[in-house]
A and B are shown apart, each in its own frame.
Chain A
Amino acid sequence: MEDKETGRRAKRSVMAHKKSSGDTDTDTTSASVAGDSLLEKIPESILNEIFLMLEPETLTTLCSLACVSRTLQSTVNKALSSFSSVDLSAFSLDSQTFDEVIRSFGKLKKITLDCLRLNDSSIRSFLGPDIEELVLLKCSSVSYRLLSSIGNICPNLRVLTLEFSVSVHKSALFDLVRQGSLLSCQRLESLRIKIRGGDFNDYGFLLLGIYHELPHTIKLLKLQPASALETIVFLKTFTYANSLVPLAPMTFGQTLTHISLVIDIITDTLLHTIAHCLPQLVELDLKDNPTSLRVEDLSNLGIQSLVNCKHLTSLSLVRSRQCIASLFKRTTDMGMFLLSEGCNRLDSVRFGGFSKVSDAGFASILNSCSSLNKFEIQNAFLLTDLAFQDFSKFPRSLVEVKLVSCNSVTSEAVSELATCSSLEVLDLFGCKSVADSCLHNISRLTLLTTLNLGCADVTDVGMAVLGKGNTQISCLSLRGCRRVSDEGIISLLGSESKIRKTLSSLDLGHMQGVTDNSITTIADACVGLTELTIRNCYHVTDASVMALAFKGRVRRLDLYNCTALSGKSFQFLKKPLFRGLQWIGIGGTRLNRVGDDGFDEICGERQWLTICKDGCEVGCHDGWQFHEF
């Protein structure tokens, strides 16, 4: 911890500039006469503007500032009450805490919340006609009655996002749509509804009738789940001139420019209808997961119909890999050729499950869309290095490249890709043939911030190369890299490595080569690390937890299934250790077996800590619907 030199006069030293968040080394100035602070002399208006530059840590920093001095506290209070927009999605607050917190703010127009532990009354307390943007995530305890009446309570909404889970009472969910109040929102431009849980047979029926509730101002629509049939019928009815329908023709066709649906099945008819009823479409995102294949599955004709959308810049067609038999079998290279010729203004492309499209097809997209920024291919069995062989010969502006579970792609292709110096995100999860040799080129990418090498064939040698490189990676995943061990990780975070300073999120899950040595090195070296996953690392013991607890920087820690941990580690969860911990996953470990008393004690002294006893990923973002609070 830092030295305090209060009461001693010393020459003021120059402020060091290498500070990163959480680093408390001794480069700070020494104290001189109390009250002689320059910061407090800056006019409030300018301080307020500086506060707005604190994103994304505005709230936590303001909280610290409020406790520094009376002057700063009153400045912060005034600033908070003038905030019209607040984002509390990083905190899973319970209702009581939330009610106190919300009082610090003034009239809010935009609010984003994590509602995992919130009840109806907390949410109702701030709703009203002032609200223009409302994002409610993880609504597990909020009633359907409240959700369905949001439109009536907040008629001036422009943006509405609701994420909730299906519980036993499906009938209540039907009421949400039928008696829903979305039509009261005359200015609604963006609507996102995501329902988690429920089995696949319900797909489409959960939000049945939702299309009839949409105000005509809608520009962006994102529904999960949706029904292909209902979508087709809706588009055909409300976008063609139809004398029986009292709505103006082409009403939706002109305004609806972004559509994103998680649907029961993607078919030719669906794409054809969308392309012809919404020719102004800018973004199309369809995802399906059919359990059985039907005859009218997507084929080249469907893809070709998309050419009708002359303004299309973002396209995503994904079939999740439930079983290999149900992937897109009827779409071949020809479909891709037609698409690349007709829609060459695409800047973002994602294709998942196109098992019959080969190198030629994918390369045609890569080469004809000159303004391509984001390129993502999932589960393409026929994609090989050949698709990328001429990659470096043309100027590229790619920012994100993701090749997920493409087993035939090797380091050669990745080395070609890594010649694109504008790359910021590179995701090669599941590409089992990618080895160390591409890491030389990757380590030269100065703008790279996210790198996912999960399940790749990289070794300790590759890690050393990466450690000596110029990348400033903040988010790194080595999940399942069986050939990387402590040696690799230690050389990755060597004393001259840039990565040790910039790393904020690290995933070392499912790595048997990781032991306490790695974790203690990480605890010391990675000053900015806030998120760490070591799930299924069977050789990590209590010593690792102790090291992390005493350093106290990690805010989210996943220890799921670390079977070598004993109940002793539970005591490291007590204050003052693990400073700042917000989320910890202890499912499958012996920590889980501590009695209720132990948990009550910890939860009592750390009310904002979420302890996940199931196997959720960090933050419970994938499994929150199964938790009960």
Chain B
Amino acid sequence: MIADEIVLSFPNITRVTMSKVLEYCNIHGAGADDETRAFDEQFVDVDQKTLFDLVLAAHDLKIKMLYDIVGERTGDMMKGKTPEEIRIIFNIGENSCVDDHPLQKELNPWAFE
């Protein structure tokens, strides 16, 4: 029997995430311009769970452009922050904190001031 449709299933990606991914792909189908730039800015303006789901989905589906913007957005959330600030932003509990790391002391002088 020849199948008329091909069904792809992605057990690791939720429906919500997949619909966002498809939205992104549709907008970017025509190439980049000012509109797509504006779309990108509000597209990454989401809560952490959605953002990280998008990172994982883009990685699995190998969509480089999407992976780059959501990855960069995640990176921006970490840049220029002290360890304490990072704990607060990403909800990392204090009971697993580590006080210092040799590289930390030398290169990032203001983290503990």
- Taking CB atoms, residues of chain A closer than 8 Å to B68 are 53
Cβ 8 A contact of A46, one of B56, B92, B111: B56
Assess whether B29 is interfacial by the CB under 8 Å rule. no
Contact B98 A67 (CB under 8 A): yes
A623 to B52, CA, bound (A): 47
Nearest CB of A to B43, in Å = 10
Contact A28 B85 (CB under 8 A): yes
A66-B87 contact, Cβ under 8 Å, with A19-B77, A21-B80: no
Return the CB mask of B77-113 against A: 1 if under 8 Å, else 0.
1111111111111111111111111111011111101
**Which residues of chain A (15-71) have a CB below 8 Å from chain B?**
15, 17, 19-22, 24, 28-29, 31-43, 46, 49-51, 53-54, 57, 59-71
CB-CB nearest in chain B for A97: B106
**Which residues of chain A (85-132) have a CB below 8 Å from chain B?**
91, 93, 97, 100-101, 103-104
Contact A57 B79 (CB under 8 A): yes
Assess whether B66 is interfacial by the CB under 8 Å rule. no
Assess whether B74 is interfacial by the CB under 8 Å rule. yes
A103 to B107, CA, bound (A): 13
Cβ 8 A contact of A14, one of B47, B74, B76, B95: B47
A61-B106 contact, Cβ under 8 Å, with A42-B55, A54-B75: no
A546 to B28, CA, bound (A): 49
B interface size (C-beta, 8 A): 53
Cβ 8 A contact of A57, one of B77, B80, B102: B80
- Taking CB atoms, residues of chain B closer than 8 Å to A366 are none
Assess whether B72 is interfacial by the CB under 8 Å rule. yes
A337 to B68, CA, bound (A): 46
Cβ 8 A contact of A552, one of B71, B88, B93, B110: B110
Cβ 8 A contact of A70, one of B85, B91, B98, B104: B98
CB-CB nearest in chain B for A40: B92
Return the CB mask of A553-577 against B: 1 if under 8 Å, else 0.
0000000000000000000000110
A609 to B113, CA, bound (A): 14
**Which residues of chain B (33-73) have a CB below 8 Å from chain A?**
41, 44-49, 51-52, 55-56, 59, 68, 71-72
- Taking CB atoms, residues of chain B closer than 8 Å to A54 are 75, 78-79
User: What 3 A-B pairs have minimum CB-CB distances, sorted nearest first?
Assistant: A34-B93, A21-B80, A580-B110
A-B contact pairs, 11 of them (CB 8 A): A21-B79, A35-B92, A53-B68, A53-B71, A57-B79, A63-B111, A67-B97, A100-B106, A576-B113, A581-B110, A607-B106
Interface residues of B (CB under 8 A from A): 41, 44-49, 51-52, 55-56, 59, 68, 71-72, 74-104, 106-111, 113
Interface residues of A (CB under 8 A from B): 2, 4, 6, 12, 14-15, 17, 19-22, 24, 28-29, 31-43, 46, 49-51, 53-54, 57, 59-73, 76, 80, 91, 93, 97, 100-101, 103-104, 552, 575-576, 579-582, 606-609
